[in-house]
Amino acid sequence: MADAVNPFESLQEQIDDAAAYLDVPADVIGRLKAPERVLEANLGVELDDGSIEVVRAYRSQFNGDRGPYKGGIRYHPGVTRDEVKALSGWMVYKCAVVDIPFGGGKGGIAIDPADYSTAELERITRAFAKELRPIIGEDRDIPAPDVNTGQREMNWIKDTYETLERTTAPGVITGKAIDSGGSAGRVEATGRSVMLAAREVFDYLGRDLEGATVAVQGYGNAGSVAAKLIEDLGADVVAVSDSSGAAYDPDGLDARGAKDHKAETGSVVGYADAETLTNEELLTLDVDLLVPAALENAIDGDLAADVEADVIVEAANGPLTPRADDVLTEADVTVVPDILANAGGVTVSYFEWVQNKAGYYWTLDEIHTRLREIMEPEARRVWSVMKNKDISMRVAAYVHALGRIGSAIEAHGTKAFFDR
Ligand code: NAD
């Protein structure tokens, strides 16, 4: 990829872009551009054949000025220390955009889970949880699911932590199964916020989502839920993809049908009468709305020049390289940034944590209402910063977030900030 960049450098560039519009001291910005600490562990795990394999795991705690570190755990062969650092930084800014009282963290293990049995994955996850135990906690650092992890892994981590600590602490992790202290609506929360962001931005642009054409790259948790909910608003989801390729039907696919097909066959490719495209072809389709929902750097500067979508709503974290972002801004493509668009995941994780701490659980309707009540006004605040300062929506989101982080630092003093 021509300008595939280190995601950590992308994050730092985004922070610098926003800092130019705010009066935040240089030493504070310097501290906000790198994690407070990173745990790196070599986990020795017994495989089913009795052999031992060593896998590399990370947890980055980026900043805790607004509350406990918060962020997911990813299992993917592409996980690196710098990727985890970048993802943990994006969490800091994401929590601040939607005013959730958390800082940012992120974890990952550099494995392809498809290479392991369920028993091996459980041993890997529990070994990681043992490493994490001293640094996580309900008021310290609260992991959650991300790519290739879900309720099952969260439950293993919670169970390991509680066993070692001889306590019950459901708020140590979010994204748990409902029976294990999870929240209604958490599984669908990220996709739901992508739908809410799409609805808000179309409204802002004076465009109709009903009848709009939509392409979604990545059909996992975030992408498939976003597709289904956007389709429910009357849009035509014409293309969806996963790592094996894309399914395209100009007359519209059935988002739920495509998900069932993936569950049955392992991929969206081959769904019904859809044509098979490459991911690159999907990303350059002439659609009203493009939702990248896979991984970082999906669109680089060269590909961006061929993007024909009018609006991009980022479900994935960091799907555009900085050069792609520049090319698309220059081409007047409206990009709703990840730190706003996919913030529903962490918002409902926050709801889950609040419910765990209170021991009192909310209905699905309450979750949906509270999520909407956070997402809609925060989106409008970002639009307003964008208009007032005449900057892109991404820079506006960072300015909005950085303002809140700066206020928190000011409130408790920079001594505490540098001593943490
Ligand atoms: P997931 O594992 O459920 O799904 C990922 C999907 O992307 C899969 O369908 C996979 O096949 C596809 N994919 C992988 N590589 C691809 C490629 N090169 N081209 C096309 N498709 C590809 O993961 P998820 O939880 O849906 O996460 C997706 C993105 O959303 C990530 O960037 C993640 O950080 C972000 N996100 C997730 C959450 C959450 O709550 N799950 C919250 C915020 C942000």
pLDDT digits 0-9 by tens, 273-318: 999 999 999 999 999 999 999 999 999 999 999 999 999 999 999 9
List CB contacts of 159: < 8 A, sequence separation 6 or more.
Answer: none
Ligand 1 atom closest to the Cα of residue 222 is 26
Structure tokens at 226: 């976003």
**Pocket of ligand 1 contains residue 316 by CB under 6 Å:** yes
Active site residue 106: yes
**Pocket of ligand 1 contains residue 149 by CB under 6 Å:** no
Under the banding of pLDDT at 50, 70 and 90, the label for residue 270 is very high
Q: From the CA of 191, how far away is ligand 1's center (Å)?
A: 11
> Atom 33 (ligand 1): residue with closest C-alpha?
316
Ligand 1 atom closest to the Cα of residue 246 is 20
3-class SS of residue 373: helix
Question: Stretch 12-29: mean pLDDT, rounded?
Answer: 88
pLDDT digits 0-9 by tens, 371-385: 999 999 999 999 999
Residue with tokens 């479900």: 315
> Atom 28 (ligand 1): residue with closest C-alpha?
294
Percent of the chain past pLDDT 70, that is, above it, reads 97
Structure tokens at 255: 């988002």
**Pocket of ligand 1 contains residue 279 by CB under 6 Å:** yes
Strand pairing category for 52-63 and 213-217: unpaired
Cβ atoms of 61 and 37 within 8 Å: the answer is yes
For 185-272, list the strands marked E by DSSP: 213-217, 236-242, 245-248
Ligand 1 atom closest to the Cα of residue 175 is 40
Q: DSSP string of 257-302?
A: HHHHHHHHHSSSTT-TTPEEE-HHHHHTS--SEEEE-S-TTSB-HH
Closest CA to 199 of 342, 376, 400: 376
For ligand 1, pick from 85, 94, 190, 228 the residue to mutate: most ligand atoms within 8 Å of CB: 190
Burial class (CB in 10 A: 0-12, 13-18, 19+), 359: exposed
Cβ atoms of 62 and 33 within 8 Å: the answer is no
Predicted pLDDT of residue 1: 53
Q: From the CA of 202, how far away is ligand 1's center (Å)?
A: 24
**Pocket of ligand 1 contains residue 197 by CB under 6 Å:** no
Closest CA to 147 of 244, 219, 69, 96: 219
d(CA 348, CA 350) in angstroms, rounded, equals: 5
Q: From the CA of 224, how far away is ligand 1's center (Å)?
A: 10
**Pocket of ligand 1 contains residue 243 by CB under 6 Å:** yes
Predicted pLDDT of residue 24: 82
For ligand 1, pick from 106, 112, 147, 149 the residue to mutate: most ligand atoms within 8 Å of CB: 147
Chain-wide mean pLDDT for the chain? 95
- Annotated active-site residue in 33, 94, 106, 228: 106
Cβ atoms of 342 and 318 within 8 Å: the answer is no
Angle of the 255-265 helix axis to the 221-232 helix axis, nearest 10: 150
Under the banding of pLDDT at 50, 70 and 90, the label for residue 412 is confident
Angle of the 81-97 helix axis to the 393-412 helix axis, nearest 10: 80
Q: From the CA of 418, how far away is ligand 1's center (Å)?
A: 34
Under the banding of pLDDT at 50, 70 and 90, the label for residue 30 is confident
- For 141-205, where are the alpha helices, taking DSSP H only? 151-165, 189-204
For ligand 1, pick from 95, 229, 243 the residue to mutate: most ligand atoms within 8 Å of CB: 243
3-class SS of residue 55: strand
User: Strand order in 275-277's β-sheet?
Assistant: 275-277, 245-248, 236-242, 213-217, 289-292, 311-313, 334-336
pLDDT digits 0-9 by tens, 237-251: 999 999 999 999 999
**Pocket of ligand 1 contains residue 75 by CB under 6 Å:** no
Question: Stretch 174-192: mean pLDDT, rounded?
Answer: 96
Q: From the CA of 223, how far away is ligand 1's center (Å)?
A: 7
d(CA 253, CA 274) in angstroms, rounded, equals: 8
Q: Cα(first)–Cα(last) distance of the chain, in Å?
A: 38
Predicted pLDDT of residue 414: 64
Predicted pLDDT of residue 373: 98
**Pocket of ligand 1 contains residue 297 by CB under 6 Å:** no
27 has a pLDDT exceeding 90: no
Structure tokens at 197: 């962001």
Q: From the CA of 108, how far away is ligand 1's center (Å)?
A: 14
Question: Stretch 320-345: mean pLDDT, rounded?
Answer: 96
Structure tokens at 215: 């392409």
Cβ atoms of 4 and 300 within 8 Å: the answer is yes
CA-based R_g, the chain, Å? 20
> Atom 15 (ligand 1): residue with closest C-alpha?
243
Closest CA to 376 of 228, 213, 203: 203
pLDDT digits 0-9 by tens, 146-162: 999 999 999 999 999 99
Structure tokens at 223: 């992408």
Closest CA to 235 of 299, 316, 291, 274: 291
Strand pairing category for 104-109 and 289-292: unpaired
Q: From the CA of 168, how far away is ligand 1's center (Å)?
A: 31
